[in-house]
Structure 1
Amino acid sequence: MKKIFTVACALSVILSTTSCATIFTGSKDSITFNTKPEGAKVIFQGVEKCVTPCTTEFQRTLGKRTVEIKKDGFESKEVKLEKNFNAVTLVNLIFGGIIGFGIDLGTGAFLKYDPKTYTVELKQN
């Protein structure tokens, strides 16, 4: 009986301190960029992430994320990456895991990027 109680207590502590969204959905999202015409650079914080068509990862965060789409001979465009609430985070609240919820907040895992694909039409200069 003592062993069962110990296992139950340990399980309770583990469940209440997990960060479900971080564990189950990670803290990054892959986002696909398409442009018309193809071959544009996707630039984030001054760094080229990829050339379209492409898929690249972005760390989830509370802050706003914007990428710049650039191609020689075409007007540049800024694209704001949209986010939505990650419902997996609710598991922490249901099981009383405020610590886990805090971890999800800190890692940005309580949000997820949505949509996961952006198509941008570039205008010629």
Structure 2
Amino acid sequence: MDGSSQNLGISSTPTGAGVTVDGRNIGTTPLTVDLKRKDNHTVKIALAGHYPYEMTITKKSNGWVWGNIVFGGLVGLAVDAISGSMYKLNPEQLNAELRKSDRASVTVQDNTIVVALTRTPDQSWEKIGELKHM
């Protein structure tokens, strides 16, 4: 019902960051890219002076799969499975907030917490904890 590919809008703050999808250079933010629905995709966004951003775009079953089974039968289901149109890519929009590399940052992705630290703290930062070597 939805076709074998899907548009994904990619933006960043600040704009003008380089974007690669599955290892291919696509362009700079903001942009829209057409991705095959039957595959997961790795999106990397990078800008000089900022920490890079990476996310996996995953495929999920499209709600029309059940309608296709009812109306198209197994043949319709097989066609959608082969073409990838039985899937929907998630998320449909990607907005990366790129943090300056001279600051600490925390990101959460796929149940993983990533903490990036700097050895030279900014005097305006609030101390919230301390790591000690044992």
Indicate if the aligned counterparts of 2:22 and 2:41 stay in contact, CA closer than 8 A: no
Distance 1:95 1:104 in 2: 13
Partner of 1:114: 90
**Structure with a larger share of its residues in strand:** 2
Tell me the CA shift for residue 111 of structure 1: 0.8
Aligned positions, number: 101
The answer to whether structure 1 residue 77 and structure 2 residue 53 are counterparts is: yes
Q: How does 1:3-22 map to 2 (within 5 A)?
A: none
Name the TM-score, length of structure 2 as normaliser.
Answer: 0.68
Gaps of 5+ in 1: 1-23
**Structure with a larger share of its residues in helix:** 1
Q: How does 1:1-125 map to 2 (within 5 A)?
A: 24-61=1-38, 63-95=39-71, 97-125=73-101
2:34 maps to amino acid: E
Tell me the CA shift for residue 83 of structure 1: 3.2
Q: RCO greater where, 1 or 2, for CA within 8 Å and sep 6 or more?
A: 1
Distance 1:25 1:92 in 2: 11
Indicate if the aligned counterparts of 1:28 and 1:58 stay in contact, CA closer than 8 A: yes
Q: Supply the RMSD in Å over aligned alpha carbons.
A: 1.6
Gaps of 5+ in 2: 102-134
Name the TM-score, length of structure 1 as normaliser.
Answer: 0.72
2:15 maps to amino acid: E
1:80-110 per-residue CA deviation (whole Å, 9 max, x = no partner) reads 1133321222222113521220111112111
